[in-house]
Amino acid sequence: MDTLISSVKIAINPQLYLKDPESSELGINIVHNGIDLIKEIGFEEFTFRKLGLQIHSPEASIYRYFESKHKFLLYLNAWYWGWMEYQLLLAISNVSSADKRLEKSVFLMTEGVQNDPNFQGIDIVKMQEIVVAEASKSFLNKQVDQANQDGAYLSYKQFVAKVANIIKEINPQYKYPIMLVTTVIEGAHQQRFFAEHLPRLTNKQNKPHYLSKFYMDLVFKTIKPV
Amino acid sequence: MDTLISSVKIAINPQLYLKDPESSELGINIVHNGIDLIKEIGFEEFTFRKLGLQIHSPEASIYRYFESKHKFLLYLNAWYWGWMEYQLLLAISNVSSADKRLEKSVFLMTEGVQNDPNFQGIDIVKMQEIVVAEASKSFLNKQVDQANQDGAYLSYKQFVAKVANIIKEINPQYKYPIMLVTTVIEGAHQQRFFAEHLPRLTNKQNKPHYLSKFYMDLVFKTIKPV
DNA sequence: GCAAATTTAATAGTATTACTATCAACTTTG
DNA sequence: CAAAGTTGATAGTAATACTATTAAATTTGC
């Protein structure tokens, strides 16, 4: 039975799962409720046993889809960045001005997302909150090199490369386009987290879009040739 | 017996330990070898049992100094930022030009440190590598609010505030000095990590100080009034 | 429409982790 | 030199991150 609502599907590197979770009811349930549970209790407290209890399936069943909870996090990350790449394509297609394209990219990287009806079921808002709070754990560990070889970060790298290319279009002389992009992405995540938990480490403002304004200003000033 | 070599001591919030590790041979051993072991196997693999084996002391003895391995990481972080604040004071004292002071601050935030003979025994190079790789784990979790109340991040906040004040001195109109500082600090950490493990997420260059050059350029362009 | 293959549920088991508890031996200090 | 404090040695516990096994349910291919 076909459960797809739209014809768009985020392609995920099969090395990140044992059995495609989109191929069965249980798999979809695992991803769904997994997102909810990680959001609720945090990744360190999250276990497949707890997730099993929530979906009334034994722990062992979940292990048939994902090798470990770490790989599950990598899967969610890859999904998120796949989706972000798709959003980027939508946002910049048919926009001829490179400046405008970069503007839209920075906005996408720094603002909170909105739920997308094309991927009903996956709560993208929650997913982004997870990525903001937990993503760095997906690479800041000793298995990073193995995960990297497994292609865990491909979609992230692709996204970054696309935006970096726009920067190069605007200023081919600028030497650090990739660094600038990852600085913005990871920075925006941190600031978002700080605003909620460690306000003295940020400049939270009530103005809408203050975060994207800060980074927009930073990016355009930085790449401007002297 | 007095084991201090210099009269300078980094003050750490006592809430981060049960018994001051600088007050005994064993305590000093724990911190020393703890740094080595975390550096070697990473924070997730690190356990007090393994550390106990390394220093030939029972696990339970270590628990008399630190409540948990999480608090141990918070302690190391606090120590690092206390030391960084001290380095900052040394670097900017007697420098009257605010621009020059900011330049020195950015350099300190983005370059690798060198071992400091005033704190013999503590390997600051290794400590920085730990902070770069593991620090975000010290706040990216559900206990962050508790840890924050315990004053775990005070020395970090103080450091950030000091640099932000220099920015305000240069451009009182600039609205996001703190955000800019934390973006630089956390960004530099990430880039350093990426350069080693995920090179496609950065623009590694062979030039010395390319990292500080990138951030120096970014900071000064960003705060320049339009 | 039914046998074969696949998927899931249910249960049990293992090594390790992150601690806590207890008590004797040793050291320091007043 | 006694009392107080520190360390060592050992043991124990609940939970985690898995693996293994087998039976029941479901899907599929002809």
Scanning the structure block, which residue is given the tokens 């400590």?
Answer: B127
Report if CB B59 to strand C is under 7 Å.
yes
Domain ranges for chain B, please list them: 14-223
Cβ of A147 under 8 Å from any chain B Cβ? no
Contact B72, B34 (CB under 8 A): yes
Per-residue pLDDT, A7: 65
Per residue in B196-207, pLDDT (tens digit) is 999 999 999 999
CA of B56 to C1' of D18 (A): 30
Percent of chain B at pLDDT above 90? 87
Other beta carbons within 10 angstroms of residue B4's beta carbon come to 11
| Band of pLDDT at residue B6, cut at 50, 70 and 90 | low
What distance, in Å, lies between the first and last C-alpha atoms of chain A? 59
Q: Are A81 and A23 in contact (CB under 8 A)?
A: no
**Strand D atom within 7 Å of A57 CB:** no
**pLDDT given for residue B84 in this prediction:** 97
Residue B115: C-alpha distances to residues B12, B102, B135, B147 (Å):
20, 23, 19, 29
User: Nearest-5° angle of CA A33, CA A37, CA A38?
Assistant: 120
Question: A14-223: which CATH architecture?
Answer: Orthogonal Bundle (1.10)
Q: Any idea what the Cα angle at residue A188 is, between residues A186 and B12, rounded to 5°?
A: 75
Q: Given this model, what pLDDT does residue A3 score?
A: 39
Q: What is the pLDDT of residue A119?
A: 83
Average pLDDT of chain A, as a whole number: 93
What pLDDT shows up at residue A117? 83
Tell me, yes or no, if A176 comes closer than 8 A to chain B by beta carbon.
yes
Mean pLDDT on B93-104: 97
Locus of tokens 């865990």? A152
Q: Protein A57 CA to nucleic acid C9 C1', in Å?
A: 7
Question: For strand C, is any atom closer than 7 Å to the CB of A25?
Answer: yes
Residue B64 backbone dihedrals phi, psi, to 5 degrees: -75, -15
Answer whether residue B140 shows pLDDT above 90: no
Does the structure show a pLDDT above 80 at B3? no
The pLDDT assigned to A126 comes to 95
Residues of chain A with pLDDT under 50: 1-5
| pLDDT value of position A58 | 95
- Closest approach of chain A CAs to the CA of B197, in angstroms? 6
Distance from CA of B222 to the nearest CA of A (A): 5
Task: Return d(Cα A196, Cα B33) in angstroms, integer.
Answer: 35
How far lies B112's CA from each of A111, A163, B34, B155, B164, in Å? 32, 28, 21, 19, 21
**C1' (D8) to CA (B150) span, angstroms:** 31
Q: How far apart are CA A164 and CA A157, in angstroms?
A: 10
pLDDT computed for residue A59 by the predictor: 96
Please, are residues A44 and B142 in contact by the beta-carbon 8 Å criterion? Answer: yes
Identify the residue among B109, B160, B162, B176 best suited for mutation to test binding to A, counting A beta carbons within 10 A and taking the highest: B176
Overall average pLDDT of the B23-50 stretch:
96
CB contact, 8 Å: B176 with chain A? yes
Cβ-Cβ contacts under 8 Å, B194 against chain A: 182
Judged by C1' against the alpha carbon of A24, the nearest nucleotide is C7
Angstrom distance (rounded) from CA A96 to CA B53? 63
Question: Helices B69-92 and B124-139 sit at what angle, rounded to 10 degrees?
Answer: 120
Instruction: Kindly tell me if the per-residue pLDDT of B46 is higher than 70.
Output: yes
**Interface residue of A183, A216, A223 to substitute, partner B, most B CBs within 10 Å:** A183
Distances (CA, A) of B165 to A41, A207, A210, B45: 37, 23, 20, 39
Whether B7 shows a pLDDT value over 90: the answer reads: no
* Residue of A44, A179, A201 with shortest CB distance to B191: A179
Closest-CA residue in chain A for B222? A218
Q: Which residue has the higher pLDDT, A139 or B125?
A: B125
Nucleotide closest to B61 measured between CA and C1': D7
The predicted pLDDT at position A6 comes to: 54
The pLDDT of residue B141: 82
Residue A166 to residues A105, A189, A223, A225, Cα–Cα distance (Å):
9, 21, 11, 15
Structure-derived torsion over alpha carbons of residues B159, A203, A217, A176, reported in degrees to the nearest 10: 40
Instruction: Give me the pLDDT at residue A203, please.
Output: 98
Q: Using an 8 Å Cβ cutoff, are A34 and A51 in contact? A: yes
Q: Note the pLDDT of residue A5.
A: 42
User: Could you tell me which of B35, B32, B38 has the C-alpha nearest to residue B3?
Assistant: B32
pLDDT at B38: 97
Q: Which residue of chain B comes nearest to A137, CA vs CA? A: B137
**What CA–CA distance (Å, rounded) separates B226 from B214?**
21
| Average pLDDT for B134-143 | 86
Contact A122, A193 (CB under 8 A): no
Which residues from A are below 8 Å from B156, CB to CB? 201
